[in-house]
C-alpha cells in the first residue's frame, strides 16, 4: 500500500505524553497499516500449547483479514500456515478448532500434510509441480508454552531475547502441563489500540473493577505520591521486597523487567504480591483450584504478570493461569480472547469450579469492554483532541503508544508495494 502524506505527518507529529490523534483509532487506512506492519511484522501472541495438545490438533486464528492455521504435527512440533488453498484460494479450515490427519481443502480436495506440503490433487495434468503449491508457512515462537506467530518473511530476531528472559519466570507454572479450563471471546466495539491502552493502566480500576480489586494492591500499578499515601506506599514496597525474597527461596523470579519500548519484541514482567490471602486473582484472593500447577506447593505466590507488545498479557498464579490475546477485526472492532488454564489433572467439580476461576476476569473484561467502546465513541467527535497521560499512572500506556509509533516509523519506508494497491472491502 502507498502511505499517504497525511499518515506520515500524523506519525511524525505525534505528541509525546498524549493519546493519539483520532485517525489512529478510526481510519480504515491506518487499520490496514496496523495489520500489515504491527500485526504483520511483529511477534503476536495467539494461543497456548494445551489448545493443540495432540498431533493433528489445530486452531484457526484470524488476524484482521488474514486467517492462520496453527497445528501440531506428528513430531509434536507446532506449525502455522496461511489458511488459503493454493488452488482457488478457499479457506481450508472453517472451524475455530479441530483435529485432522492432513489439511484437505473442502473445495477440490487438494491435500496438504502437516508440514504444509501438497501431497495430493487430481486433474492438474502431468506438468503440474506440487512443490510450487505448498501452503504458505507462518513463523512460530514458543515461550514456555505460550505460542506466538510472526507473519513476516523475516521475523524480528529479538524474540529470542524475550524467550530467554521469560522462560525462567514462567517455567515453574508448567503451562505445557495445563489444560484449558475455559476460553472466552469478546468482540469489543473499539479499536484494538484502545483495548491495549486500557490494559496498560489501573488508573481506571478503582471506579470500574470492584472484583479485580479484591486481590490487587492499590499501589502496584502507579499513583501520585503524597504525604497522605507515603506510609502505605512504603509498606507495599517493603512487602514487595520481603515477598520477593520468600519466592526467590522457592526458586521463583519476581524482579521487574521493563522493555516495553525501544525494541521490536517488547515486553514487561513482574511478580507482585496479591491482597488479603495473596493466592490468586479470585473474589477472595484464595486459590480457585486445589491442585496447584507443576510442582508448586505454596499457594501464596502472588501473581506473575507478563505483558507483550502489541497484543497480549498474562497472569500466572499458583493454581491457574489467565492469558489474553488482542486481535483487530477491523478499525472499529477487536477480538479479546481470554484463556483460563489449570493443571491438566485437575478435575472440574472436585479440584476447581469454572465459575470461581473465571468470575473476576469475566467481570473485568466486561467492564473494560464498556470503557473501550465508550472511548471509541468519544474519539469520533470532531472535538476530540489528544489528552495528557498521567505521569504516574499511565506510564505503561505511554510506552505502548511510543512503541506503536516507533514501529510504524521503523517500517514505513519498508512497505512492499502491494500487487493490490486499490482499496478493498474487508
Site residues for a copy of itself, 317-346, by CB under 8 A, read: 331-332
Chain positions 116 to 145 lying near a copy of itself, rule: CB under 8 A, are: 122-125, 128, 133, 136
**Looking only at residues 37 through 96 of this chain, which bind a copy of itself when binding is defined by CB under 8 A?**
40, 65-67, 82-91, 94
Indicate whether 411 belongs to the interface with a copy of itself (CB under 8 A). no
Which CB atom, from 6 or from 235, has the smaller least distance to a copy of itself? 6
Q: What is the dihedral of CA 208, 146, 244, 292, to 10 degrees?
A: 90
The CB density around residue 77, as the number of other CB atoms within 10 Å, is 13
| 91 vs 142 by CB, closer to a copy of itself | 91
Looking at residue 38, what DSSP letter applies?
I
Query: Does position 108 bind a copy of itself by CB under 8 A?
Result: yes
* Three-state DSSP state, 324: strand
Percentage helix, strand, coil, to 5, in the chain? 30, 25, 45
Q: Rounded to the nearest whole angstrom, what is the least distance from the CB of residue 20 to a copy of itself in the complex?
A: 10
**Does 153 help bind a copy of itself (rule: CB under 8 A)?**
no
Query: Any alpha helices (H) in 152-217, and if so which ranges?
Result: 159-170, 192-199, 205-208, 210-213
Number of residues that bind a copy of itself (CB under 8 A): 80
Q: Is 197 in the site for a copy of itself (CB under 8 A)?
A: yes
* CB neighbour list of residue 426: distance below 8 Å, 6 or more residues apart: 28, 64, 65, 330
Does 406 engage in binding with a copy of itself (CB under 8 A)? Answer: no
- 54 vs 153 by CB, closer to a copy of itself: 153
| Residue 15 exposed, middle or buried by CB count within 10 Å (0-12, 13-18, 19+) | exposed
269-328 binders of a copy of itself (CB under 8 A)? none
Is 188 within 8 Å of 195 (Cβ atoms)? yes
Nearer to a copy of itself, 165 or 363 (CB): 363
Residues 171-190 that bind a copy of itself (CB under 8 A): none
Q: Of these, 107, 248, 276, 298, which contacts a copy of itself (CB under 8 A)?
A: 107
CB of 370 to a copy of itself, least distance (A): 8
Q: Measured between alpha carbons, how far is 71 from 54 in angstroms, rounded to an integer?
A: 9
**Measured distance CA(388)–CA(41) in Å, rounded:** 29
Position among 7, 46, 69, 240 found at the interface with a copy of itself (CB under 8 A) = 7
Taking CB under 8 A as the binding criterion, the range among 158-166, 254-262, 309-317, 390-398 that sits at the site for a copy of itself is 390-398
Compute the least distance from the CB of residue 246 to a copy of itself, in Å.
31
Instruction: For residue 384, give every residue at least 6 positions away whose Cβ sits within 8 Å of its Cβ, in sequence order, or none.
Output: 22, 378
Q: Specify the stretch interacting with a copy of itself by CB under 8 A; choose among 179-187, 243-251, 279-287, 374-382.
A: 374-382
User: Which residue, 20 or 288, has its beta carbon nearer to a copy of itself?
Assistant: 20
Question: Using the rule CB under 8 A, which residue among 131, 297, 381, 414 binds a copy of itself?
Answer: 381
d(CA 18, CA 116): 45
Which residues, in sequence order, are CB contacts of 97 under 8 Å at separation 6+?
Answer: 51, 57, 58, 59, 60
Under rule CB under 8 A, residue 348 binds a copy of itself: no
Which DSSP string do the residues of 212-244 spell out, in sequence order? HHTTS-TTTT-----TTTHHHHHHHHHHHHHHH
Site membership for a copy of itself, residue 417 (CB under 8 A) = no
Q: How far is CA 394 from CA 289, 294, 379, in A?
A: 33, 35, 18
Positions in 218-277 near a copy of itself (CB under 8 A)? 222-224
Residue 203 as a binder of a copy of itself (CB under 8 A): the answer is yes
- For residues 222 and 203, is the Cβ–Cβ distance under 8 A? yes
Options 249, 382, 413, 414; binder of a copy of itself; rule CB under 8 A: 382
d(CA 74, CA 72): 7
Q: Which is nearer to a copy of itself, 28 or 55 (CB)?
A: 28
When the beta carbons of 111 and 115 are compared against a copy of itself, the nearer one is: 111
Considering the complex, state which of residue 346 and residue 405 has its C-beta at the smaller distance from a copy of itself. Answer: 405
Q: State which residue, 210 or 294, has the beta carbon closest to a copy of itself.
A: 210
What distances in angstroms separate CA 114 from CA 91, 111, 171, 327, one per listed residue? Answer: 16, 10, 28, 25
Residue 366 interacts with a copy of itself (CB under 8 A): yes or no:
no
Amino acid at each position: 500500500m502507498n502511505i499517504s502524506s497525511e499518515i506520515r505527518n500524523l506519525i511524525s507529529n505525534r505528541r509525546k505524553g498524549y493519546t493519539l490523534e483520532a485517525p489512529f483509532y478510526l481510519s480504515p487506512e491506518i487499520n490496514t497499516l496496523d495489520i500489515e506492519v504491527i500485526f504483520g511484522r511483529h511477534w503476536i501472541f495467539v494461543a497456548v500449547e494445551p489448545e493443540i495438545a495432540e498431533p493433528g490438533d489445530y486452531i484457526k486464528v484470524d488476524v484482521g483479514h488474514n486467517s492462520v492455521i496453527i497445528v501440531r504435527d506428528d513430531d509434536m512440533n507446532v506449525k502455522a500456515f496461511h489458511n488459503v488453498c493454493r488452488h482457488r484460494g478457499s479457506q481450508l479450515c472453517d472451524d475455530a478448532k479441530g483435529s485432522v490427519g492432513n489439511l484437505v481443502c473442502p473445495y477440490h480436495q487438494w491435500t496438504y500434510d502437516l508440514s504444509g506440503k501438497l501431497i495430493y490433487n487430481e486433474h492438474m495434468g502431468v506438468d503440474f509441480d506440487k512443490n510450487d503449491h505448498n501452503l504458505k508457512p507462518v513463523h512460530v515462537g514458543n515461550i514456555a508454552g505460550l505460542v506466538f506467530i510472526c507473519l513476516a518473511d523475516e521475523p524480528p530476531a529479538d524474540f529470542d531475547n524475550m524467550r530467554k528472559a521469560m522462560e525462567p519466570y514462567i517455567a515453574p507454572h508448567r503451562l505445557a502441563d495445563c489444560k484449558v479450563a475455559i476460553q472466552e471471546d469478546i468482540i469489543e466495539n473499539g479499536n484494538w489500540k484502545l483495548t491495549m491502552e486500557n490494559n496498560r493502566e489501573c488508573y481506571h480500576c478503582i471506579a470500574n473493577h470492584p472484583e479485580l480489586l479484591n486481590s490487587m494492591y492499590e499501589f502496584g500499578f502507579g499513583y501520585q505520591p503524597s504525604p497522605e499515601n507515603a506510609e502505605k506506599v512504603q509498606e507495599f514496597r517493603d512487602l514487595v521486597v520481603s515477598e520477593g525474597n520468600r519466592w526467590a527461596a522457592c526458586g521463583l523470579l519476581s524482579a521487574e523487567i521493563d522493555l516495553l519500548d525501544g525494541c521490536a519484541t517488547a515486553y514487561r514482567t513482574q511478580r507482585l504480591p496479591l491482597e488479603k490471602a495473596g493466592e490468586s486473582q479470585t473474589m477472595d484472593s484464595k486459590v480457585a483450584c486445589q491442585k496447584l500447577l507443576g510442582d508448586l506447593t505454596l499457594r501464596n505466590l502472588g501473581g506473575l504478570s507478563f505483558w507483550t507488545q502489541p497484543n497480549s498479557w498474562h497472569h500466572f498464579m499458583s493454581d491457574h493461569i489467565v492469558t489474553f490475546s488482542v486481535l483487530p477485526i477491523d478499525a472499529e472492532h477487536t477480538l479479546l480472547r481470554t484463556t483460563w488454564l489449570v493443571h491438566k489433572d485437575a478435575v472440574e467439580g472436585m479440584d476447581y469450579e469454572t465459575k470461581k476461576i473465571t468470575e473476576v476476569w469475566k467481570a473485568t473484561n466486561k467492564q473494560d469492554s464498556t470503557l473501550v467502546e465508550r472511548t471509541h465513541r468519544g474519539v469520533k467527535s470532531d472535538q476530540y483532541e489528544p489528552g495528557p497521560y498521567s505521569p504516574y499512572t499511565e506510564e505503561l500506556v505511554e510506552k505502548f503508544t511510543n512503541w506503536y509509533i516507533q514501529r510504524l516509523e521503523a517500517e514505513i519506508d519498508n512497505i512492499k508495494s502491494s500487487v493490490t494497491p486499490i482499496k478493498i472491502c474487508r
